[in-house]
Amino acid sequence: MALEMAAAAIMEEMMEEMMEEMMEEMMEEMMEEMMEEMMEEMMEEMMEEMMEEMMEEMMEEMMEEMMEEMMEEMMEETMEEMMEEMAAMAADPALVIPNLDLDLDQDLDVPFPEMTLEHVSRHAFEYGQPGIDLLEPRPVGGGRAARGAGDGDSQDEARRGSSRHADEYG
């Protein structure tokens, strides 16, 4: 019986080893399968994301190209219209300045009226335009007067008068 018991113990030990090996192999296979499945899922997700990104980029590029083409066409059309209008204007000066009756044989030398300081100042006062300040030579800080400046004659009076006039109305 001892032999039977020893044989049973050996058999039991062998069975345990076999079971452990089988369990290890099964675990390895299951792990490999799980890893493969997980990798496949991850790859599918990554591929989907990449495809979405690529599609978005392609759509953006296509839209940009279409917009550029449309803008170019619009610019060309606008330029053509402008060129046609300019050609029409060049052919007919009355289009450039409406109600213009030009007699090219007419002498266009028209005398320009002489403008005086009084005219300019009155015009500035009436139409709210800034006046022009004319500086006159004057003595500075107790110094001597500039040559030709005020010796009390009537020209000094006229100069002061025009300056006062500019100050009041300019």
The answer on pLDDT for 86 being more than 60 is yes
Helix or strand holding residue 28 (H, E): helix 2-91
Q: 115's torsion region: left (phi>0), alpha (psi -120 to 50) or beta?
A: beta
The answer on pLDDT for 110 being more than 50 is no
Name the pLDDT band for 45 (thresholds 50, 70, 90). very high
Q: What is the mean predicted confidence (pLDDT) over 4-21? A: 91
pLDDT of residue 49: 95
Q: What is the mean predicted confidence (pLDDT) over 48-62? A: 95
> In this predicted model, which residue has the larger pLDDT, 114 or 35?
35
Q: Average model confidence (pLDDT) for the chain?
A: 75
Query: Which are the contacts of 162, defined by CB distance < 8 A and separation ≥ 6?
Result: 117, 118, 134
The answer on pLDDT for 133 being more than 60 is no
pLDDT of residue 4: 84
pLDDT of residue 57: 95
Q: Quote the CA–CA distance of 92 and 86 in Å, as a whole number.
A: 10
User: Taking a C-beta distance cutoff of 8 angstroms, is the pair 71, 65 a contact?
Assistant: no
- Which range of 64-68, 100-104, 113-117 scores highest in mean pLDDT? It is 64-68
pLDDT of residue 92: 72
Q: What is the mean predicted confidence (pLDDT) over 11-39? A: 94
Helix or strand holding residue 69 (H, E): helix 2-91
First to last CA, the chain: 141
pLDDT of residue 38: 95
> In this predicted model, which residue has the larger pLDDT, 108 or 30?
30
Phi, psi of 160 (to 5 degrees): -60, -40
